[in-house]
Amino acid sequence: MTTDSPMTDEAVRGAGVEVKPVAGHIGAEIGGVDLAADLDDAVVAAIRAAVLRWKVVFFRGQRLDHAGHVAFSRRFGEPVVLPRRGKASPPDFPEIETTADRLELGGRFGMEHDEWLRRRRHTLLRGWHCDHGARVDPPAATILRAETVPPYGGDTTWANLAAAYAGLSAPLREFVDGLRAEHRLGVGYQPRPGDDAYVRHLLDRQVATLHPLVRVHPETGERILYVNGYYVEQIAGLSRPESGAILEMLLEQAVRPEYTVRFRWEPGSVAFWDNRATMHLAPGDTAHLDHPRIMHRVMLAGDVPVGVDGRASEPITGTAPGRW
């Protein structure tokens, strides 16, 4: 299915759902839908079609509580239940992980959240990631709900990895189609001098997978430039200098402005994105603001990526399909 498939347009029109694209290659706002309601199958199909076409869709002014968030998510897949969550996450809803920027890692590893964030983003491209990209079966989608946001700042940005692949020259597409890369938890983190409790935490929980550098989307058939800044360690079979140069070039391709969309959050906003075809950049401009930013997310279970050659991703350590 291409982004111009008449099937997607027909599904949206038939459900009476209003879809307004907000950027040329990625992102659309959906109106006329109450996510807390008992949605009929036609509306669910229209939302799914919009996510597949625009990669991330946005809803404003929603009144979802935790139960409604989980119920809405279940219409699109099986929510992931994480074995470990932060203290801010609701204990009665194991499908929901709460991100409270001022609380998430403050003091937990001997550093405040803003320092932890800087160390994860010590280069311009390191902050870009897909959720749980080092797993052999990363989530298929993420549904993120805003409870409390600053009056300014705190935007999230997404990149369309299908458009990024299509924008490569034909010889380069042919070259990357056959490559595979190691994705490993924590390779984007810059350790503190001396002892670093967060490094010990990462080493105790290592997760790594050999993924195709180009994956085939299981629903649309699109080829996805399967890169991100935080997890990708090295392209298999290449030297480190070769791998570093190629990965930097591919990442710069993926985050070209024309392939991205930036969303301004409000309380009650919901973003629903295809984690198989996008990477995103969480905000880095709120640490100095005296305003909380509290978000709740549900991730949907995903499949094992498959490359252009039909070969599936291979686990290296700490990961197995369906086991979290």
Question: How do 18-21 and 28-31 pair as beta strands?
Answer: antiparallel
Longest dimension (CA), the chain: 61
CB atoms within 10 A of CB 197: 12
Q: Give, as one character, the DSSP assignment of residue 316.
A: E
What's the Rg (C-alpha) of the chain? 19
- Select which of 69, 119, 280, 296 is catalytic: 280
- Select which of 101, 131, 137, 274 is catalytic: 131
Q: Are 35 and 59 in contact (CB under 8 A)?
A: yes
- Select which of 129, 135, 184, 293 is catalytic: 129
Whether 211 is a known active-site residue: answer: no
At 142, list the tokens: 């993420």
Whether 66 is a known active-site residue: answer: no
Whether 122 is a known active-site residue: answer: no
- CA 183 from chain centre, in angstroms, equals 14
Q: Give, as one character, the DSSP assignment of residue 265.
A: -
In order of 44, 104, 163, 179, the CA distances from 235 in angstroms are 38, 32, 21, 7
- CA 176 from chain centre, in angstroms, equals 22
Q: Give, as one character, the DSSP assignment of residue 255.
A: T
At 283, list the tokens: 């905000």
User: Phi/psi of residue 15, each to 5°?
Assistant: -90, -5
Distance CA 182, CA 208 (A): 7
Q: Are 43 and 15 in contact (CB under 8 A)?
A: yes
| Amino acid, res. 73 | S
Whether 280 is a known active-site residue: answer: yes
Nearest partner of 189 among 126, 275, 241, judged by Cα: 126
Dihedral (C-alpha) 127, 29, 290, 84: value to the nearest 10 degrees? Answer: -60
Cross-strand pairs, 260: 159
Q: Which residues are catalytic, by number?
A: 129, 131, 280, 297
